[in-house]
Amino acid sequence: MYSQNPGSWSGNLETNVNLFLIDSLIGPFNVPQYDNQLVGGEAWLNLNYTRDDLRVGIRFDMYENSNLKNPVESYSAEGIGRWFVKKSVGKLDFEVGYLYDQIGSGLIYRAYEQRTLFIDNAMKGLSAKYNISNDWYIKGFGGRQKNAFDVYEGFIKGISTERFFVFGTEKPVSIVPGIGFVNRTFSDNTMDGIVSILQSYLEEDRFSPTYNTYAATFYNTLSYMGLTWYLEAAIKSDDVFYDSMAKRKLINGEYVEGKYVRRSGSVLYSSVSLALGKLGLTLEGKRTKNFSFRVDPSLQLNRGLINYLPPMNRQNTYRLTSRYSPATQDVSEQAFQVDAQYKINKHWNVLVNFSTINTLENETLYNEIYTQFQYKKPGKIQVIGGVQVLEYNQDVYEGKPGVENVKAFVPFTDILYKFNRHNSLRMEIQYMDTKQDFGSWFYSLAEYSIAPHWQFEGSVMYNTNPKKELSNGIKEKILYPTLGVIYSSGANRYSLRYVKQVEGIVCSGGICRLEPAFNGVRFNMSSNF
C-alpha cells in the first residue's frame, strides 16, 4: 500500500580539478600527472530518495588522472560507487547494497568513507536490524568489502546488540551497553598467497594459518549529570598480519625485520567527559595489542581495513599545528589524552590538551602539549592564540628509518576582525621551530570575506631554516604560497586556488598517509540539494 507522500529527493555534488605544474625544486618527479597528463580530478554525485519507510540512494564516482588513490600514480575509473536500498517493515529494518555502519566505536568493525584518503570501506551486502523494543535492537550483517569499483574477496559477517537503560527520574543514570561479534573468512586466493609466503619462510618462522578470525567487543556508555563514561574492550582470535618489527631468519643465518605472524589481539579504550560548570574535562586512554584486522593481510597502508582504532591526540586544524599528526598504530600502542577547557567569563576561555602515545615496549611515538586561549567580543573581534610543543616519531609514522624524532615548538595566533556585518578579515600567523625533518617554518594567512558570497585568501609557508636537501642537492629556503578565491551562493560553493605545498602527512581521525609535494591550481565545486 502506498501513501500520498510523493517522497523527497536530496543529494550533493563534489568536484575537484587539479592542474599539475612541475616545480624544478620540489617536484614531484616521475609522476604522470606532472610529466604529461597535466590535468586530473575527481567527482562524486550522491542522489537519495526517501518515501515513508523506504530510502534508496546511488552515488556516481569519477576519477580521471586522479592522484587521490596513490599520490604518485595516475588513476582513472568511473562508475557507480555506491547504491543502497533501505526499508522498514514493522520492527525489521533491512538494507542492501553498499553499506556504511559500525559497532561501538569501531574497534572490531567500521565501514566508512573518507574521500580525502581514498578510503571507502563500504560493505557490499545485507544488513538487518530487529527492533525488539524502542530501546533495544539486534543487528546482523554480511558481505564483502568494497575495493574502489570492485570488492575484496574475503567474507565479513557480524552481529551486534545494544540496549538503552535509564535508572531514576530526578537525577537519572543511563547506560547503553552493547556487544558485537565479527567474523572474517579469507578467500582461497588470499590463503594461497599466505601459504606461498609462509612456504618461503624457514621452519622456525612458519605457522599454520586458519581461514577464520573472530573479533568480539563489549562497550557501554554511562551518563550521569555532567559525566559521560564510554568504555570498550575488544578481543580478536588468532589472525595473520604483518608485523614490521618481528625478526625473520634467512637461510644464510642473517635476521631481517618484518614478517607475517599469527597472534591474537586486544584493545581497551575508555573516554570520560566531565562538565563541571565552567570547566570541561575529557580523559581518554587506549591500549592496543596485535589488533591489525584486514580483509587480506597482504594489503598495506589504508587498504582492506575492517576496523577503526580511534586516535588519541588532538585533531588540530591549523597548518603548522597539524603538520605532524600521528597515525593510529594497530600492533603495539598505549596512549593517554587529557583535554581541559575552562570558560573564564563571557569573553575569555582557555584550553589545554596533553597527549602521549608509546608502544607497549615504551618506545616514544608521540607527545604533545597544546595550549590555546580565546578572546571573543561578539560581532567585532575574536583572537585565538596558543603554543604547541610536540615530539613525533617520524621513523615509525612515515617509514623513514633511522631519522631523529621531530621535536617542535609551535606558537600560533588567529585573529578575526569584523568591520561590519558583511566585511571581515581573518589572519593566522604560525611559526614552527624544529631542527628535524625540513627544519623550521613560518606560516601566515590572510582571509578577507565579503558575506555572503565572496572570500579571498592568501597564505605563505616559508622554510626559514631548511634541513632537507632539495632535488638540486642544496638546502634551499623555499616559499610555498597559496592564493585563492571562494564564491558561495546558497548551497553552491566554488573555490579556485593556486597551491604550492610541501610534502607532509594528511590525517583524518588517526588514519594518515604521506602526501608528496604539490604545485598547481585546484578548483573545487560543491552543491547540496
Distance CA 20, CA 33 (A): 6
The C-alpha cell at 443 is: 606560516
Site string for another protein, 216-235 (x = CB under 8 A): x-------------------
Distance CA 387, CA 409 (A): 7
Distance CA 176, CA 165 (A): 6
Q: Which is nearer to another protein, 382 or 405 (CB)?
A: 405
Answer yes or no whether residue 148 interacts with another protein by CB under 8 A. Answer: no
Map residue 418 onto helix, strand or coil: strand
Please list, in sequence order, all residues whose beta carbon lies within 8 angstroms of the beta carbon of residue 416, skipping any fewer than 6 positions away.
381, 382, 383, 424, 425, 426
Answer yes or no whether residue 212 interacts with another protein by CB under 8 A. Answer: yes
Map residue 34 onto helix, strand or coil: helix
Only one of the segments 250-258, 272-280, 439-447, 459-467 lies at the binding site for another protein (rule: CB under 8 A); that segment is: 250-258
Site string for another protein, 283-322 (x = CB under 8 A): -------------x-xxx----------------------
Q: Which helix (H) or strand (E) holds 4?
A: none
Map residue 47 onto helix, strand or coil: strand
Residue 200 backbone dihedrals phi, psi, to 5 degrees: -85, -10
Distance CA 112, CA 432 (A): 33
Task: Report whether 481 contacts 460 (CB < 8 A).
Answer: yes
Out of 251, 277, 345, 472, the residue judged to bind another protein by CB under 8 A: 251
The C-alpha cell at 25 is: 625544486
Q: How many CB atoms lie within 10 A of CB 49?
A: 14
Only one of the segments 11-19, 143-151, 255-263, 443-451 lies at the binding site for another protein (rule: CB under 8 A); that segment is: 255-263
Site string for another protein, 180-199 (x = CB under 8 A): -x-x-----x-x-xxxxxxx
Site string for another protein, 11-40 (x = CB under 8 A): -------------------xx---------
Cross-strand bridge partners of residue 462? 442, 479
Q: Which is nearer to another protein, 145 or 459 (CB)?
A: 145
Work out the angle at residue 197's Cα, subtended by the Cα atoms of residues 193 and 203, and round it to the nearest 5 degrees.
140
Out of 6, 90, 277, 473, the residue judged to bind another protein by CB under 8 A: 473
Q: How far is the CB of 138 from another protein (least distance, A)?
A: 6
Q: Which is nearer to another protein, 138 or 389 (CB)?
A: 138
Map residue 195 onto helix, strand or coil: helix
Out of 45, 138, 460, 502, the residue judged to bind another protein by CB under 8 A: 138
Task: Report whether 500 contacts 484 (CB < 8 A).
Answer: no
Out of 52, 78, 135, 257, the residue judged to bind another protein by CB under 8 A: 257
Only one of the segments 15-23, 210-218, 274-282, 306-314 lies at the binding site for another protein (rule: CB under 8 A); that segment is: 210-218
Please list, in sequence order, all residues whose beta carbon lies within 8 angstroms of the beta carbon of residue 236, skipping any fewer than 6 positions away.
108, 213, 214, 215, 264, 265, 266, 290, 291, 293
Q: How far is the CB of 519 from another protein (least distance, A)?
A: 17
Answer yes or no whether residue 73 interacts with another protein by CB under 8 A. Answer: yes
Q: How far is the CB of 161 from another protein (least distance, A)?
A: 6
What residue ranges bind another protein (CB under 8 A)? 30-31, 70, 72-73, 130, 132, 136, 138, 159, 161, 179, 181, 183, 189, 191, 193-200, 206-212, 214, 216, 237, 242, 248, 250-252, 254, 256-260, 296, 298-300, 395, 399-402, 473
